[in-house]
Amino acid sequence: MSEVLRQLRQQRSTAEARPRLMERYAAFLPVTGATPNVSLGEGYTPLVHARNLGRIIGCPLLHLKVEGANPTGSFKDRGMVVAVAKALEKGSRAIVCASTGNTAASAAAYGAATGLEVVVVLPQGQIAAGKLLQAQVAGARVVGVDGNFDRALKAVLELVENADSADRPISLVNSLNPHRLAGQKTAAFEVCEDLGGAPDYLAIPVGNAGNITAYWQGFTEYRDAGLVDTRPRMLGFQAAGAAPLVIGHPIDDPQTVATAIRIGNPASAEKALRAKDESGGTIEAVTDEEILAAYSDLARHEGIFCEPASAASVAGVRKMATAGRIDPGATIVCVLTGHGLKDPDTAGKTVEPPLTAKPTADGVRGALGW
């Protein structure tokens, strides 16, 4: 038997053998002996060296943090696992969130796995098909509201504030819940471990501005713990139609293909701006055209299918590199926040219909023009 096979046999063959995010990073998380051990296998997502795309855009050390590989297909699972564990610990029976879809899908899954009632409030008609279905199949109660994400969040905040806590203890699981950000910062730890240090730049899509805040917190805590020496410059990218941090004021009904980050008034705006300033980074806007070009190129050159909002990170880095604003020798990590399968409708608009042929080799050859 080969050495590899022998080692595989010796490993514990139970699901317990896989390290859990909350156990691995317990020292950095609000975890106590009383915190229930929840896991759907979140975290430990791939960091891919994007050699082809890196060469094309002039950044040979371009890396992609593939957060679509989380259990519900987005980075939200890192924070949701902690938020749900803490909700259970304090005796909540229900969790509630406003969402552009990914938070809803994640809350629905972790709520289902732990027996919590889940209520998600969504801007009606603006949610990618996959995300809505994820929430529904997991049994969440979905409420569509006539209005944007900001209005949905306001409604949910009022709902939680006025809830009868004795009757139905209820926890908010939006990123205003600090446990969400605590969990999400673990992605920065993984990036440091995979690279053997912090990158020079960390590029990330910005919506409600929780994730950029969480990453900065993560890099800072790892540096303060002496585990890395440096912190990256933080590059945040908003969709041009919905870029309040860039243009300085909220937009009432922003339009963009990146519907996941279609947010007028980011809840963590101040913290995100601090991360930008402290790191010597920038927060800028990218257009829908730039986002869709990056989205297609990621799939065609790297085989990584992310959702449109995720591609804002690569679109932004490409734009900066083209303008000569990034040192070509820099190590760059672009966070790809969600999976492309969540939004089949946008994908469908970027491709030609499939070829058709008779079910014979000749038929297929003819259709291919071989």
Residue located via tokens 């601090």: 274
- Is residue 103 part of the contact set for ligand F0G (CB under 6 A)? yes
Assigned token pair, 277: 């300033």
211 contributes a contact to ligand F0G by CB under 6 A: yes
Measure Cα distances from 206 to 3, 39, 161 in Å: 46, 26, 27
SS3 (DSSP) at 333:
strand
153 binds ligand F0G (CB under 6 A): no
Q: Taking CB under 6 A as the criterion, which residues in 50-69 touch ligand F0G? A: none
Told to check if 156 binds ligand F0G by CB under 6 A, we report no
The distance of closest approach from Cβ of residue 323 to ligand F0G in the complex, given in angstroms and rounded to an integer, is 23
Query: Contact between 175 and ligand F0G (CB under 6 A)?
Result: yes
| 337, 340, 343, 347: residue in contact with ligand F0G (rule CB under 6 A) | 337
Among 39, 100, 134, 171, binds ligand F0G (CB under 6 A): 100
CA 189, 191, 193, 199 torsion-angle sign: negative
Binding segment for ligand F0G among 161-169, 206-214, 349-357, 360-368 (CB under 6 A)? 206-214
- Nearer to ligand F0G (CB atom), residue 87 or residue 98: 98
The whole-angstrom separation of Cα 200 and Cα 233 is 6
Distance CA 90, CA 347 (A): 41
244 interacts with ligand F0G by CB under 6 A: no
Q: Minimum CB separation from ligand F0G for residue 146, in Å?
A: 17
| Min CB(365)–ligand F0G separation in Å | 40
E-assigned strand segments in the chain:
47-49, 62-66, 94-98, 117-123, 141-145, 170-172, 201-205, 233-239, 282-286, 332-336
Give the count of residues interacting with ligand F0G (CB under 6 A): 21
Beta bridge partners of 332: 62, 201
**Least distance to ligand F0G, CB of residue 267, Å:** 8
Q: Per rule CB under 6 A, is residue 74 in the interface with ligand F0G? A: yes
Measured from the CB atom, the residue of 199 and 205 that comes closer to ligand F0G is 205
Instruction: Considering only the stretches 9-17, 101-109, 164-172, 360-368, report the one whose residues sit in contact with ligand F0G under the rule CB under 6 A.
Output: 101-109
> Measured between alpha carbons, how far is 272 from 269 in angstroms, rounded to an integer?
5
Q: Judged by CB under 6 A, does residue 309 bind ligand F0G?
A: yes
Based on the shown chain and the rule CB under 6 A, indicate whether residue 102 belongs to the binding site for ligand F0G.
yes
Token digits of residue 4: 């590899």
Q: Residue 178 forms beta bridges with which residues?
A: none
Residue 148 contacts ligand F0G per CB under 6 A: no
DSSP-derived secondary structure for 331-352: -EEEEE-BBGGG-HHHHHHTSP
Q: Does 260 bind ligand F0G (CB under 6 A)?
A: yes
Say whether residue 72 binds ligand F0G (CB under 6 A). Answer: no
- Cβ atoms 32, 20 nearer than 8 A: no
Reference 209, options 162, 252, 250, 257; nearest CA is: 250
Residue corresponding to tokens 């800072």: 220
Binding site for ligand F0G (CB under 6 A): 74, 99-103, 175, 205-211, 260-261, 307, 309-310, 337-338
